[in-house]
Amino acid sequence: MASQSDKFQPTKADHFTFGLWTVGNQGRDPFGDAVRAPLSPLVTVEQLSKLGAYGVTLHDNDLIPLGASDSEREKILRDFKKALSDYDLRVPMVTVNLFYHPVFKDGAFTSSMAPIRRYAIDKAKKAIDLGQELGAETFVLWGGREGSEVDAARDPRDAMKHYRQGVNELTEHILKNRYPMRIAMEAKPNEPRSDIYLATTGAMLAFIATLDHPEMVGVNPEIAHEKMAGLNPYHSIGQALEAGKLFHIDLNDQKPGRYDQDLRFASDDLKGSFYVVKMLEDGGYQGPRHFDAHPYRSENAEGVWDFARGCMRTYLVLKDKVHKFAQDAEIQGILSELKTWSEREDAFDRDAWGAVGYQYEKLDQLVVELLLGAR
């Protein structure tokens, strides 16, 4: 295979991170079994480091199997920390699996059963402790089972009250232990539940405002999830950033109107992905460039690393296009002309304004040609 240009080779300074579950995805789907062998977290750390990644992220049970004994936990953590040190990788984010075990089949924090809610909150607190032990500064909470199929079974107002109680207990846990950690909540409209509560990043931002410690809680928008809701990730991420609430991000891609595909970053929607990179780079987002995606089921163990390379490389190619956008005289010429109009102070002439031509056709064509490498 032709060697890839050095210009787009990732380095740790790019702060790319991957979930253990992403490259470790074995290719199961509702109609087919695993196509790849399990991937050891130790191999993942070594391989991602060699590819230029900055860190890995994990659910509690991606690393510590449910039901592991204290001694098993200690050994797993010892080996994992050694690998992180040997390969100079960080763990900027930890999350909790509140969706795989059958106990969560009707919800975790929003379960109607108090004992299940209590178990879920305690499991999340232990995952926060694990994150602290690994040096994570962000705890992501994705409520994949917080939802419903039968609305007769639960009043969404009760679900909100229980969700709030759970998150408030997590912020109390962080404050009591003086952990330097923040919580980032991740929205998704559906799948695996027929409807998931707090379906979009916008809904999450409204919910966060009702918490005891809203300053400790932000959002972790996922591109695929906003697109599943028919929304424009550039706008969702922009709203979060402007509100000071973009605490983390899940980068991937998604074809419209399909199940959660978690595709390789920018592998479907190049222009939309370009604007996401533009928002992160121009908007001064300081967090890791985190990929929550997985390789196609078609891929073998080698193809997994093609997937990881592709995520990072395309981000860097688009970051270079963001730089070219800022340097492009024609694009900037149109934008500055629009800016002078925006500040006009002469007498308001409704018909004149109604007749204005905004040059958006020309502007968007220039962006398309920039992305196609035609300018």
59 is catalytic: yes
104 binds ligand DIG, rule: CB under 6 A: no
CB of 339 to Mn ion, least distance (A): 36
322: CB partners within 8 A, 6+ apart: 274, 277, 278, 281, 282
223 binds ligand DIG, rule: CB under 6 A: no
Q: Which of 222, 253, 269, 328 binds ligand DIG (CB under 6 A)?
A: 222
Burial 313-338 (b: 16+ CB within 10 A, else e): bbbbbbbebbeebeebeebeebeeee
Number of residues in contact with ligand DIG, rule: CB under 6 A? 10
Distance from C-alpha of 371 to C-alpha of 254, rounded to nearest angstrom? 19
Binding partner of 95, given Mn ion, ligand DIG, none, CB within 5-8 angstroms per partner class: ligand DIG
Q: Which of 17, 95, 261, 314 binds ligand DIG (CB under 6 A)?
A: 95
Q: Are the CB atoms for 159 and 133 separated by under 8 Å?
A: no
Q: Which of 54, 139, 142, 325 binds ligand DIG (CB under 6 A)?
A: 142
Distance from C-alpha of 180 to C-alpha of 121, rounded to nearest angstrom? 19
Q: Using CB atoms, what's the residue nearest to ligand DIG?
A: 142
Output DSSP code: residue 234. H
Catalytic residue among 59, 173, 225, 294: 59
Candidates 296, 251, 286, 247; CA nearest to 272 is 251
Catalytic residue among 60, 62, 250, 292: 62
Candidates 168, 170, 189; CA nearest to 179 is 170
Burial 270-288 (b: 16+ CB within 10 A, else e): bebbbbbbbbbbeeebebb
355: CB partners within 8 A, 6+ apart: none
User: Of residues 257-296, which lie at the interface with Mn ion (CB under 5 A)?
Assistant: 260, 262, 292
Contacts 24+ apart (CB under 8 A), 175-178: 175/213, 175/216, 177/129, 177/132
CB of 61 to Mn ion, least distance (A): 16
Q: Which of 108, 130, 136, 140 binds ligand DIG (CB under 6 A)?
A: 140
Binding partner of 54, given ligand DIG, Mn ion, none, CB within 5-8 angstroms per partner class: none
For Mn ion, the closer of residues 279 and 322 by Cβ is: 279
292 binds ligand DIG, rule: CB under 6 A: yes
CB of 227 to Mn ion, least distance (A): 10
Binding partner of 169, given ligand DIG, Mn ion, none, CB within 5-8 angstroms per partner class: none
Q: Which of 62, 226, 250, 253 binds ligand DIG (CB under 6 A)?
A: 250
169 binds Mn ion, rule: CB under 5 A: no
222 binds Mn ion, rule: CB under 5 A: yes
How far is residue 197 from each of residues 151, 200, 214, 234, 361, measured CA to CA in Å? Answer: 12, 9, 18, 22, 38
155 is catalytic: no
Catalytic residues: 59, 62
